[in-house]
Amino acid sequence: MNKKVAIIITPNWKNYAKDYLRECMAGIRRQDYPGEMKVFITDNETSSESARLLRSLAPEAELILNNTNDGYAKGCNDSMRQALMQGFDYIAVFNIHTSLEPDCLRKMVEALESDARIGAVQARIMMKEEPNLINSIGNTTHFLGFGYCLGYQEKWKNQVETVVDIAYPSGSSILFRREALEKVGLFDEEFWMYNEDQEIGWRLWLNGWRVVLMPTAVMYNNYEFQRSIKKYYWMDRNRILAILLCYHFLTLLLILPAFIVMEFGLILFSFKTGWFKEKKRVWLYFLRLRTWKYIIYSRRRNQELRKVKDAEIIKLIVGRIWYQEVDDIKLRLINPVFKLYWRICKYLIVW
């Protein structure tokens, strides 16, 4: 418990901090962790007004002032790089609109120190407005790349009592081990926003690290599901990137028929919801030469990290699509088919 912990608050943009940072910092100041702590905040597309706001709400924080908005992933990385350069042992990433129970960080550190193979820990995240409801008790990945929260909107009934493995940690609450980050790298900045937590969690598993939930470490999230068109683009694009970068080549071939069926289904869904232009943007992204240069480079990076077979990692990957508030009858009808398909795939995957 004498390890130095850097606390990275997710990037501010314009005056976003004014609604959330005061409560977030109050929770951080209440932490009973006995070791050294220091807060870092990146201000994307900074201005004198936003920098002044951050200094007034978090005077103890080190600010990284970026003249441009280069996205969530790079904003977090800019703070994380500073923390690593300054020799911090553990790097915590907390969303700006969360608040922590006083023992949250200490419990996360306890989990990290319980096993040298653990590379990242997530706290149990509850809903701020309804604190008996779960926001996330770890995140999971569907075999076609969709990521979602486990336990979302369930009442907390001690569903998890001890440290358990999860596919990936929520970007709202991650404590990284320094050595793990030095091995696998930081967030992939191509992801810009959304699914960067999914990809780095997958990368950690590939390299032999465990990613776990610490259920007794509790935080609260001002979470609101937003059906925004921009969000659809990033989430759909990035879930495809994640599977292209992280699966074994043979696994990609095995899931290709299901992927094609899903793409047809998503095109129909995009017509229904008015998201067709965004779906078209996703495919235009994958038709660019620059995109495939990035994919080839980044896939090679991830596969060179590999110490664990897909046969082990897929135990954490599911066949059922459950996409939070998106409740579509076609999903309910196709879920049994996808579950069976994935069960067969899991039997075949030995690499």
**Whether residue 194 sits in one domain with residue 166:** yes
**Phi and psi for 33 in degrees, rounded to 5?**
-60, 125
User: E strands within 79-200?
Assistant: 90-94, 98-100, 118-127, 134-136, 139-142, 147-149, 164-165, 173-177
Q: What tokens were used for 239?
A: 């879930």
Instruction: For residue 54, give the nearest of 75, 25, 27 by alpha carbon.
Output: 25
pLDDT value of residue 14: 84
pLDDT value of residue 331: 65
pLDDT averages per 10-residue partition of the chain, 351 residues: 93 88 96 97 94 95 95 97 98 96 98 98 96 95 94 92 96 97 98 96 98 98 66 93 98 97 89 88 97 98 98 95 59 83 97 96
pLDDT value of residue 277: 92
Instruction: For residue 242, give the nearest of 228, 255, 261, 229 by alpha carbon.
Output: 255
**Whether residue 240 sits in one domain with residue 187:** no
What is the sign of the dihedral through the CA atoms of 169, 162, 91 and 23? positive
Per-position DSSP letters for 241-254, written without gaps between them? HHHHHHS-HHHHHH
185 Rama sector, left if φ>0, alpha if ψ -120 to 50, beta otherwise: left
Domain count, the chain: 2
Q: What tokens were used for 287?
A: 């038709």
Q: Are 194 and 147 in contact (CB under 8 A)?
A: no
**Whether residue 140 sits in one domain with residue 64:** yes
Instruction: Find the helix or strand (DSSP H, E) in which 63 lies.
Output: strand 62-65
CB atoms within 10 A of CB 277: 11
**Whether residue 159 sits in one domain with residue 29:** yes
Contact residues for 7 (Cβ-Cβ < 8 A; gap 6+): 28, 37, 38, 39, 40, 92, 94, 105
Instruction: Find the helix or strand (DSSP H, E) in which 44 lies.
Output: strand 37-44
**Whether residue 241 sits in one domain with residue 114:** no
**Whether residue 250 sits in one domain with residue 107:** no
pLDDT value of residue 229: 55
Cα–Cα distances (Å) from 1 to 19, 37, 89, 201, in that order, read 32, 11, 11, 24
**Phi and psi for 304 in degrees, rounded to 5?**
-70, -20
Last-in-domain residue among 176, 200, 221: 221
Q: Are 94 and 102 in contact (CB under 8 A)?
A: no
Last-in-domain residue among 221, 256, 286: 221
Instruction: Find the helix or strand (DSSP H, E) in which 42 lies.
Output: strand 37-44
CATH number at residue 103: 3.90.550.60
pLDDT value of residue 328: 59
Q: What is the DSSP letter of 323?
A: B
**Whether residue 62 sits in one domain with residue 210:** yes
**Whether residue 163 sits in one domain with residue 135:** yes
d(CA 114, CA 104) in angstroms, rounded, equals 16
**Whether residue 216 sits in one domain with residue 172:** yes
State whether residue 305 is helix, strand or coil: coil
| Residues composing the chain | 351
Cα–Cα distances (Å) from 43 to 8, 52, 176, 229, in that order, read 12, 11, 22, 25
**Whether residue 343 sits in one domain with residue 238:** yes
Last-in-domain residue among 192, 221, 250: 221
**Whether residue 36 sits in one domain with residue 128:** yes
Q: 280-296: string of b/e by CB count within 10 Å (b at 16+)?
A: eebeeeeeeeeeeeebe
pLDDT value of residue 270: 86
**Whether residue 195 sits in one domain with residue 128:** yes
Domain of 202 in residue numbering reads as 5-221
